[in-house]
Amino acid sequence: MAIQKNTKKLITNKPANITTSTSNKMSYPFIAGLIDGDGHIVVFKNTGEYVITMHIEDELFLNELQQQFGGYLKKVANKKAMRFHLNAKTAINGKDTLVELTKGLNGHIRNTIRVEQFKKICTALSIIFIEPEPLTGKDGYIAGLFTADGTAFLNCRLSAAAKKEKSLNSVICKQLSDELSPLEIKIQRILKGVAPFIEIRIANQLLDNVGDISKALGLGTTSFSKGDLRAPKGHFYFFIKKEIEIVQFYEYINLYRTLSVKYKRLDLMEQFFMLRENRAHLAKENSIKAKEWETFVRKWYWDNFLV
């Protein structure tokens, strides 16, 4: 089911059916997307374990998952990450909860690596594996996958003056790097740029794992990024740049709202579009609009930035 393309502006058309409540339990398709992105399935003789590893900032979200199913959380040594474990010993109702979860996930696990792991836990729990249906925008799978592997970027183009000096941006960064943190350099780049924009991405090394998202949602497109130090082989990614499509994606994902930190930036998009429409990013230095723009940019990068 494609998302309806009748939205004009987020700031003027916030539909009544969107809920910001986090009281509802996470759906099985949502959890399947989460596991496909950040999960791992371990299989023992007649049982198994679901493991989900996320940035430590998402500890509240993992607590939310723990309240629904049981399990336990453990900090990953020497990393800013938290790991959720769910097995027959730690689940709320023991093995029954593990079986119930596996049955609920059945037919929704799609990641090429995760499918093979899931088949094994199905066998261990005497459950017949169900092949997934074609990906759809009717359920929370893509929202779960975004929670795991998605990102909302804030970027901008350099001003005309900066473009005249080919190396201006690198020179500025070099000067700032001696006295400012990497985070502050990012902030200054946005503040000194023009034409700011937001881009939403969901990435994976295999096209099979992200290639159908655009068709399922009826928006966005898929591309390939060449390798770098973090991902030498490169990766495929679904992405959205158009404002109307970003608004539509926000409407979709808000239907499956959780305590994940991913929603913090998504919630700032309304303010972003309003400020950009008012040309706050082009306002004179020290003006009210300019100060509002700087406050927004810092809020985007600093969760604890005090307004």
Model pLDDT for residues 36-57, shown as the tens digit of each residue: 999 999 999 899 999 999 999 9
3-state secondary structure of 203: strand
Of the residues 124, 157, 172, which one is the last residue of a structural domain? 124
Q: What is the structure's pLDDT at 228?
A: 67
Q: Rounded CA gap, 36 and 43, in Å?
A: 16
Per-residue pLDDT for 15 more than 50?
no
Which residue has better confidence, 188 or 47?
47
181: confidence class by pLDDT, cuts 50, 70, 90: confident
| Domain coverage including residue 79 | 28-124
Average per-residue pLDDT for the chain: 86
Question: Which of 82, 100, 124 is the last residue before a domain boundary?
Answer: 124
User: Is 307 domain-assigned?
Assistant: yes
Residues in CB range of 4: below 8 A, 6 or more apart? 248
Determine the pLDDT at residue 25: 87
Q: Is residue 232 assigned to a domain?
A: no
Q: Is residue 244 in some structural domain?
A: no
pLDDT of amino acid 38: 96
CATH of the domain at 89: 3.10.28.10
Half-sphere exposure of 113 (CA within 13 A, CB side): 12
- Per the model's pLDDT, the better-predicted residue between 188 and 74 turns out to be 74
- For residue 16, pLDDT over 70 is answered with no
| pLDDT tens per residue, range 202-233 | 998 888 889 999 999 999 999 888 766 666 67
Provide φ and ψ at 303, rounded to 5°.
-65, -30
Tens of pLDDT, residues 91-150:
999 999 999 999 999 999 999 999 999 999 999 999 999 999 999 999 999 999 999 999
What is the tens place of the pLDDT at every residue in 234-245? 789 999 999 999
Q: Which residues, in sequence order, are CB contacts of 248 under 8 Å at separation 6+?
A: 3, 4, 5, 7, 217, 219
Mean pLDDT, residues 265-287 taken together: 94
* 208: Cβ contacts below 8 Å, ≥ 6 apart: 112
Q: What is the pTM of this model?
A: 0.85
Confidence of residue 166 (pLDDT cuts 50, 70, 90): very low
Q: Domain for residue 256, yes or no? A: no
Q: Which 3-state string (H, E, C) describes 158-217?
A: CCHHHHHCCCHHHHHHHHHHCCCCHHHHHHHHHHHCEEEEEEEEEEECCHHHCCCHHHHH
Which single residue is written with the structure tokens 């539509």? Answer: 248
Q: What is the dihedral angle through the alpha carbons of 296, 300, 306, 307, rounded to the nearest 10 degrees?
A: 20
pLDDT tens figures, 55-86: 999 999 999 999 999 999 999 999 999 999 99
Residue 51: inside a domain: yes
Q: Is residue 292 part of a domain?
A: yes
Return the number of other C-beta atoms located less than 10 Å from residue 46's C-beta: 11
The pLDDT score that the predictor gives to residue 233 is 75
Residue 117 resides in a domain? yes
Last residue of a domain, one of 124, 146, 173: 124
For residue 10, the model assigns a pLDDT of 47
Q: Confidence class of residue 193 from pLDDT cuts 50, 70 and 90?
A: confident
Total domain count for the chain? 2
Q: What is the mean pLDDT of residues 156-160?
A: 73
Kindly state whether residue 149 falls inside one of the protein's structural domains: no
What whole-number percentage of the chain has pLDDT above 90?
68
